[in-house]
Structure 1
Amino acid sequence: MEGKVIPAITPDRTYENWKTLGTVLFGFMTALIFVVLQMATMTFIVVSRKPELTAPQLQDMLLAAQSDGFVISLTTIVTMIVCCAIVAGVIKLKRGSNLADYLAIKSVPTRALIAWLGILIALIAASDLVSLYLGRPLVPSFMTSTYATAQPVWLLWVALVFAAPVFEEIFFRGFLYKGFASGFIGPMGSVILIAGLWAAIHTQYDAYDMGTIFITGVALGLARMRTGSLLVPLAMHATANIVANAEVAILSWYSVT
């Protein structure tokens, strides 16, 4: 009598990723390309508007362009496309890696997503209340001037609600988190470190607003850590920018009526 053949049990496949050193080196490279591309795109837009500018005039125009809604919109979209491709390329350079696994691109239960979005909304409400209590404006002056100079306005919405969250989450809580969390600082250390790095790039804001961004970054990092999915902090980031843009739009409308 023939015996039954019992299939061998194979463990779930594990994929490779860059560890701390590789993450730091490739992360720095990506950040450097981001800054250079941002400046190049900004310069191209300014020069295309007024090609006869002298060097001092160009410098003044570039400074003014940092709060120009159209320039910011186009620059954000361009850097998102290029830098996301760079991150994907860096990931594929690691032998044995898997893009979806590396970036934690996987679905989560709807209940979990709603819960984290609820936490974000509560955090935004608390931040706004504290700002009002301290006599601070709900909307930073940088955002007001950016929105006022955004022509067309829909392009700014695309840039801030889609392009910015996509690149920043893929880079910070996707690529950087994967590498740092598997290193000596671990997942929780990665959440704190990455929130600090994320807040530090928002140099257009003052210390108070950067502190608020840091706290938001911790919440996004915790969502990434607890759910194991990048889609949750991505949705939270996009939602936060929707709320911020809506506040600017409403306050701008009231200021002219």
Structure 2
Amino acid sequence: MDSLNPDHPPLTATPATPRVWKFWGTAVWGLFIFVAMFVGQIGAVLLLAAQRGLPMDLASLQLVGREPQTLALSVIMGLPATLAAVWLAIRIKKASFVDYLALHWPSWKQLLFGAVGLILIVLLWETMSRALGREATPGFMTDLLKTGRDKGAALLLLAAFAVAAPMSEEVLARGFLYRGWSASFLRAPGAILMSSLVWTIVHLQYDMYFLAEVFAIGLWFGYMRYRSGSLWLTIVLHALNNLTAVVLTMWLGS
């Protein structure tokens, strides 16, 4: 038999090279995904303005967009747009959506470790805020959440900030961007740093102090993505962080 003949060794299957966008491909598609998210969010504002018969001008859109219900729907509508854009980018590579984004459930130990680390980071920033005499939550967010609560939009805001926003942002940052950049010359450390920076830029409505906090939390999320190999872990941690902030601001006045 050929398998026993040294002149004709048995054929061995060569593992297929993972189909992954590398540095520039990930960067370009990441920009496309961000634009898709923005279009989805703006689309919700345009739809609500049209339903009210308002003119499609900047003043009308700003008026509608400042309402808590509109903002919540805008964040929610950004999720399907983000998922569609990510699916397209991965589909072109003919890769598995689940495997590309590491949509695998983490162990309870990993979840506990990630939660403890997140709590310590948040407590550290809370302590720094008190020492500096700063508010723990940006003022405009406090006003938005309390106004939304008083106008009966509490559940909608919870769905937006504790479900839709974590999923959209994690799929983009720790999902798509981390996956591609970690397979490039950046490797895991560079991918953690770059994806955290992009995630911070998404929150430019905050001042520099809160942006520094967002960046620190992003580094922890990136490390947990690397350590666990699970995007679901960072989605859950992100959701818990946002849920706690929303509940405390709405009902406990913190």
Asked if TM exceeds 0.5, the reply is yes
Contact 1:223/1:232, CA 8 A, preserved across alignment: yes
Distance 1:149 1:61 in 2: 20
Shift in alpha-carbon separation, 1:13–1:107, aligned structure 2, 3 A: farther
Alignment of 1:137-216 (within 5 A): 137-150=135-148, 151-216=152-217
Shift in alpha-carbon separation, 1:133–1:67, aligned structure 2, 3 A: farther
* 1:124 counterpart = 2:122: yes
* 1:24 counterpart = 2:27: yes
Contact 2:173/2:199, CA 8 A, preserved across alignment: yes
TM value normalised by structure 1: 0.86
User: How far off its partner does 1:10 sit?
Assistant: 6.4
User: How far off its partner does 1:27 sit?
Assistant: 1.2
* 1:33 counterpart = 2:51: no
Amino acid at match of 2:125: S
User: How far off its partner does 1:109 sit?
Assistant: 1.8
* Alignment-derived partner of residue 94 in structure 1: 93
Note the alpha carbon deviations across 1:188-243, whole angstroms, 9 max, x for none.
11111111111111122111111110111001000001111111111110111011
* Alignment-derived partner of residue 62 in structure 1: 61
Alignment of 1:218-257 (within 5 A): 218-252=219-253
User: How far off its partner does 1:17 sit?
Assistant: 1.2
Distance 1:197 1:65 in 2: 28
Contact 2:79/2:165, CA 8 A, preserved across alignment: yes
Contact 1:198/1:214, CA 8 A, preserved across alignment: yes
Identical aligned pairs, as a percentage? 28
Note the alpha carbon deviations across 1:94-128, whole angstroms, 9 max, x for none.
03x11111001112221121011011011111111
* Alignment-derived partner of residue 134 in structure 1: 132
Contact 1:69/1:145, CA 8 A, preserved across alignment: no
Distance 1:47 1:145 in 2: 26
Gaps of 5+ in 2: 1-10
Contact 2:203/2:211, CA 8 A, preserved across alignment: yes
* Alignment-derived partner of residue 218 in structure 2: 217
Contact 2:49/2:61, CA 8 A, preserved across alignment: yes
Gaps of 5+ in 1: 1-7
Contact 1:127/1:212, CA 8 A, preserved across alignment: yes
Distance 2:14 2:119 in 1: 40
Amino acid at match of 1:183: S
Distance 1:231 1:13 in 2: 26
Comparing 102-111 and 214-223, the one that deviates more = 102-111
Distance 2:87 2:102 in 1: 13
Shift in alpha-carbon separation, 1:52–1:154, aligned structure 2, 3 A: closer
